[in-house]
Amino acid sequence: MKQYLLLFFSFILQNNLISQEVKIREFIGTLQLSDKTIITFKLNFKELSGGAIQGTSLSDIYGTDRTLSKIEGSISADKKTISFKELGNVSSKSQADLSTFCFIEVKNARIKTVKDKSIIQGAFSGKFSSGKKCADGYIYLISADYVNQLSDDLLTSKTIKNPDSLAIAKRKVNELKNRTYNNLLKSNESLNLNWKSSEIIIDIWDGQKEDKDEISIQINGEQVLDKFIITNKKKTVVVPIKNKLSTIIITAISEGNSAPCTANIMLRDGQQDIPIIAVLKKGEFTTVKINQ
């Protein structure tokens, strides 16, 4: 009898855990403005109970105005529609004033499924934080899983006979994937972050082959790491934030055995993780500005 009870409770627990699993979905594509300007765009969200969704949007993915924003909205499986709006920035490489950022809203965009790929199509409008209209246009997104599978199917020895050409193509695709998920910072570039925690957790590691790249990190003029040699093992430092505006400067001390100096960095505050790849020559630096 006890065995049956244990099996019963185990079954109930497993089903509760399954029902509580949060489904995360990713779509990638473009925004087309009314003047025909094309902006790369990625949508990442989790489905909550009652059809609510929460997540992030990423615009100008590979450009100088790359911006990550929080979104919320709803999705209807019956009507096959999705609605969402951007609430505010998490991070941005843009140096524009916050009042000039255009936050988009999508109402009842269609979700279609065509041969194993999900597509989001519909209109969008944009507003400044003041509420004034700043843009309108058309959104077209496709499921990221399909894009990844397509690249895997195309980049094979059957489709690209030359091994060198295949290796180059795979490297370029992987570089684009890295740039989709990470903030790539080069010399004199900066990233602006909105921060809520009173401290910042910094993880530093070499995401590729160890080649003795060396960096230093300063926060508000104070040395956090000096002549630190990056390895595949993560180095973690925790730094309290005392100012409303804090500046992190990452400087390349050495390019190691092969140029350039490349450092994988994750900035964490307990609620959000901001991935960065700093790509620098010796003596160059990049900046992260944290706004509380």
Where in the sequence is the domain holding 211, given as residue range(s)? Answer: 182-291
Count of structural domains, the chain: 3
Answer yes or no: do 196 and 172 share one domain: no
> In this structure, are residues 140 and 30 in contact, taking their beta carbons and an 8 Å threshold?
yes
Provide CB contacts within 8 A for 97, sequence distance 6+: none
Answer yes or no: do 245 and 201 share one domain: yes
Answer yes or no: do 163 and 121 share one domain: no
Cα-based distances in Å from 5 to 10, 13, 79, 105, 203 = 8, 12, 41, 50, 46
Answer yes or no: do 240 and 277 share one domain: yes
Last residue of a domain, one of 96, 127, 144: 144
Answer yes or no: do 198 and 127 share one domain: no
Give the pair of three-digit tokens for residue 182. Answer: 């990470």
DSSP code, position 171? H
Q: Does the global pTM surpass 0.75?
A: yes
Domain containing residue 94: CATH number: 2.40.128.30
Answer yes or no: do 38 and 73 share one domain: yes
Q: How far apart are CA 62 and CA 262, in angstroms?
A: 18
Answer yes or no: do 7 and 138 share one domain: yes
Residue 109: the pLDDT is: 96
Answer yes or no: do 121 and 19 share one domain: yes
- First CA to last CA distance, the chain: 58
pLDDT tens-digit profile of 183-241? 999 998 999 999 988 999 999 999 888 899 999 999 999 999 999 999 999 999 999 98
Residue 144: the pLDDT is: 84
The answer to whether residue 259 scores a pLDDT higher than 50 is yes
pLDDT tens-digit profile of 75-110? 998 889 999 999 999 999 998 988 899 999 999 999
Handedness of CA 104, 31, 95, 187 (dihedral sign): positive
